[in-house]
Structure 1
Amino acid sequence: MKRILATLSLSLFLGACASGSGTDVFGGNSSSGGLGVNSMVKMAVDNQCRTELANRNEWRVIALAMTAEKQREWEDKICGCASEEAMQQITANDMMQMVNTSTRNQAVAGITARTVTACVKRLYR
């Protein structure tokens, strides 16, 4: 029964991502700013990114040399890119983990790690 529910949930999530109609799984219109799956993933990745940046010693050292405004600007660049890139980096396995509350944090951390790495490389080119 759990497999059927998980498969159905995954189908709904992937169907909403693939459809070009702008309607998300929860019935909202994603183009009108509704909280759809994409928005929730982006918000989770952005939040996780900022938390991880704040916990990194390298970021702390670099941030000491910046003003608070400049630090926010770089956080916005890095984490904004990561949250936008998240939908290109997400896998079916990640989506399954996001459905399960016990593995959601692990999935967000994995997506964030992949996207932040890609964005930092892109920003430093």
Structure 2
Amino acid sequence: MKKLIAVLAPLTLALTACVSTGTTTGTTGTQSATQQLGNAAIKIAINAKCTTELNNIAAWQTATKLMTATQKQNIQSEICGCVSEKAPQSVTAVDLATAAIDPAARTTIVSNAVTKTINACVAEAVQ
């Protein structure tokens, strides 16, 4: 029974992401609760991936050698907060649905979104 629920829950989540609420506000449509939850989950995954990616960048390692742990954490939070806000804009509804079902796809989608935005956010933080 637990396996059935584990399979049906993501499938239901993916299918409800395709349902329209029928209401729009100007040129932007309202997001369903499912889409909002999907976006929140993606943002959390993106933030975690950003931290890992940032720590693997040689320039980041060099730049933070002389910083205190607090300074490094503050800048890292600023950069990854930026990435968490901007990266989901490059994720489509289809990607969100796929990420809900397939963990391997989720990893790829998150990685691609972080890669597309991390350099821009580092540049913003440096300025």
Question: In the alignment, what sits opposite 1:33?
Answer: none
Q: How large is the RMSD of aligned CA atoms in angstroms?
A: 3.1
Trace 1:1-125 onto structure 2 (pairs within 5 A): 9=14, 12=17, 18-20=29-31, 24-25=33-34, 36-92=37-93, 94-99=95-100, 100-125=102-127
- CA distance in 2: counterparts of 1:113 and 1:14, whole angstroms: 30
Q: How many residues align?
A: 110
Gaps of 5+ in 1: 31-35
Q: Which amino acid aligns with 1:123?
A: A
* Whole-Å separation in 1 of the counterparts to 2:114 and 2:123: 14
Q: Rg: which structure is higher?
A: 2
Q: Which sections of structure 2, spanning at least 5 residues, go unmatched?
A: 1-9, 22-28
Alpha-carbon distance between aligned partners in 2 of 1:116 and 1:40, rounded to the nearest angstrom: 18
When the two structures are superposed, what TM-score results if normalisation uses the length of structure 2? 0.69
Length-normalised TM-score, structure 1: 0.70
SS at match of 2:103: coil
Give the conservation status (yes or no) of the 8 Å contact 1:41–1:86: no
**Which structure is higher in RCO with an 8 Å CA cutoff and minimum separation 6?**
2
* Deviation beyond 6 Å, 4+ runs, structure 1: none
